[in-house]
Amino acid sequence: MRAIVQTGPESVDVSEREPPAIGPEEARVAVHATGVCGSDAHAYRYHGGYEWVQLPRVMGHEYAGVVESVGESVTEVEPGDRVVEDPTRRCGQCFQCRNGQENVCAAFSVKGMHRDGSYADRTVAHPENLHVVPDGVPLEHAAITEPLSVAARAVYEQSVLTPGDTALVEGPGPIGVLVATVADALGADVTVSGLGADTAYRLPLVERLGIDAVNLDETDLGTVTAEATDGVGFDVVFDTTGHRSGIETAVERVRKGGQIVVVGLPGEASEVALSDLVRSEVQVETSYGSVWRDFERALSLLDAGTVAAAEIVDTSFSPADPETAFETFLDSETCKPVFTFAAE
């Protein structure tokens, strides 16, 4: 089978491997489509906290495919089922898992990093991590279920956003675009902010989705905030930038009594005056990963057509040339590259 294998910093090989064997409690899935996540792209550069990934490694963790075979003890799925996988395995034994907080399991492992991933013709999954894709959802669209589950958790579970609220989403990367889409579908008045590098692809994508977009290299966010919120400030600010400036800007643009939800992972410490947050009684929340319910919600959003997956998914990249997809993503010239491995 074909597999995209990272062999070093910015070094990947497309090679032939034997299909993975499965145990009695595992399933083998023929991968149809698999997406490029920000973590995949940064792991490709092998810096910023990803140096622990043991190489060589088959990359990838966001995918949709068809169950090809199952072990003798598997009853949850059967060959022919169209599925997506929750790529995070939890221990089930730590305090967090037993406390209903398995998204922050103390001993988790992630597909494509701790173990071989989905950038291949076939991959192995635990059945309890598989979700059946509704019949009306194409598999190349279902490939974004995992990041959409992250966005769904951020909006539905971790935020206080309600219909009619104003929301600022900082950062038009994949998670930011999906958070904005979910918030917009909820009935919020959403604005997405980006930088000059985002004007080639990502901010125009946001506008095609019917959501307001602003280039901060050309437009003052203070002016935008005043116009969008009648000078009050945003009810909820979602920081998906993964940069220290995101939370700092959020503090400036959220209203008194509002909420900040940090979804991105800043690589550097931010400088925030907590006294300002206390005096304004601003709620600061975080959102990390997703759980079973979030995956089911994501699939429901795709099935209902609430998320314009055809606009968001970019299938123009070939698995024979993964470097181009990674570099184009890192240059903000695409939003959600999806490799297609097999015909549905």
pLDDT of 343 > 80? The answer is no
Type of residue found at 155:
V
pLDDT at res. 47 = 83
Grade residue 344 by pLDDT with cuts at 50, 70 and 90. Answer: very low
* Burial (0-12, 13-18, 19+ Cβ within 10 Å), 184: buried
Grade residue 119 by pLDDT with cuts at 50, 70 and 90. Answer: very high
Per the structure, how many domains does the chain have? 2
Say yes or no: 201 and 267 in one domain.
yes
Say yes or no: 203 and 308 in one domain.
no
- Report the CATH number at residue 88: 3.90.180.10
pLDDT at res. 283 = 97
Say yes or no: 93 and 171 in one domain.
no
Grade residue 336 by pLDDT with cuts at 50, 70 and 90. Answer: very high
Residue 328 to residue 186: CA distance in whole angstroms: 31
DSSP string, 152-175: HIIIIIS----TT-EEEEE--SHH
The string over 238-257, giving b where at least 16 C-beta atoms fall within 10 Å of a residue's C-beta and e elsewhere, is: bbbbbbeebbebbbebbbee
Say yes or no: 120 and 228 in one domain.
no
Say yes or no: 182 and 199 in one domain.
yes
Q: Are 73 and 25 in contact, with CB atoms under 8 Å apart?
A: yes
DSSP string, 176-238: HHHHHHHHHHHT-EEEEEE-GGGGTTHHHHHHHTT-EEEETTTS-HHHHHHHHHTTS-EEEEE
Say yes or no: 249 and 318 in one domain.
no
The string over 91-110, giving b where at least 16 C-beta atoms fall within 10 Å of a residue's C-beta and e elsewhere, is: eeebebbeeeebbebeebee
Residue 203 is part of which domain span? 159-286
Q: Measure the N-to-C terminal CA separation of the chain; round to a whole number of Å.
A: 17
Residue 131 lies in a domain: yes
Residue 152 lies in a domain: no
Residue 112 to residue 53: CA distance in whole angstroms: 9
| Helices 145-152 and 292-304, axial angle in degrees (round to 10) | 110
Say yes or no: 7 and 142 in one domain.
yes
- Report the CATH number at residue 281: 3.40.50.720
Residue 153 lies in a domain: no
Residue 21 lies in a domain: yes
How do 82-85 and 62-70 pair as beta strands? antiparallel
pLDDT at res. 272 = 84
Say yes or no: 260 and 131 in one domain.
no
Q: What is the DSSP letter of 257?
A: E
Q: What is the DSSP letter of 19?
A: P
pLDDT at res. 239 = 98
Say yes or no: 239 and 255 in one domain.
yes
Residue 322 to residue 320: CA distance in whole angstroms: 6
State pTM to two decimals. Answer: 0.96
How do 234-239 and 254-262 pair as beta strands? parallel
* Cα 322-150-224 angle, rounded to 5 deg: 95
Q: Is the dihedral of CA 216, 205, 150, 57 positive or negative?
A: negative
Say yes or no: 167 and 254 in one domain.
yes
Residue 165 to residue 162: CA distance in whole angstroms: 6
Residue 154 lies in a domain: no
Residue 315 lies in a domain: yes
pLDDT > 70 in the chain, percent: 99
pLDDT by residue (tens digit) across 15-39?
999 999 999 999 999 999 999 998 9
Residue 255 to residue 44: CA distance in whole angstroms: 38
Say yes or no: 253 and 141 in one domain.
no
pLDDT by residue (tens digit) across 247-263?
999 999 999 999 999 99
pLDDT at res. 185 = 98
pLDDT by residue (tens digit) across 31-88?
999 999 989 998 999 987 889 999 999 999 999 999 999 999 999 999 999 999 999 9
Q: Are 148 and 179 in contact, with CB atoms under 8 Å apart?
A: no
pLDDT by residue (tens digit) across 255-298?
999 999 999 988 777 788 888 899 999 999 999 999 999 999 99
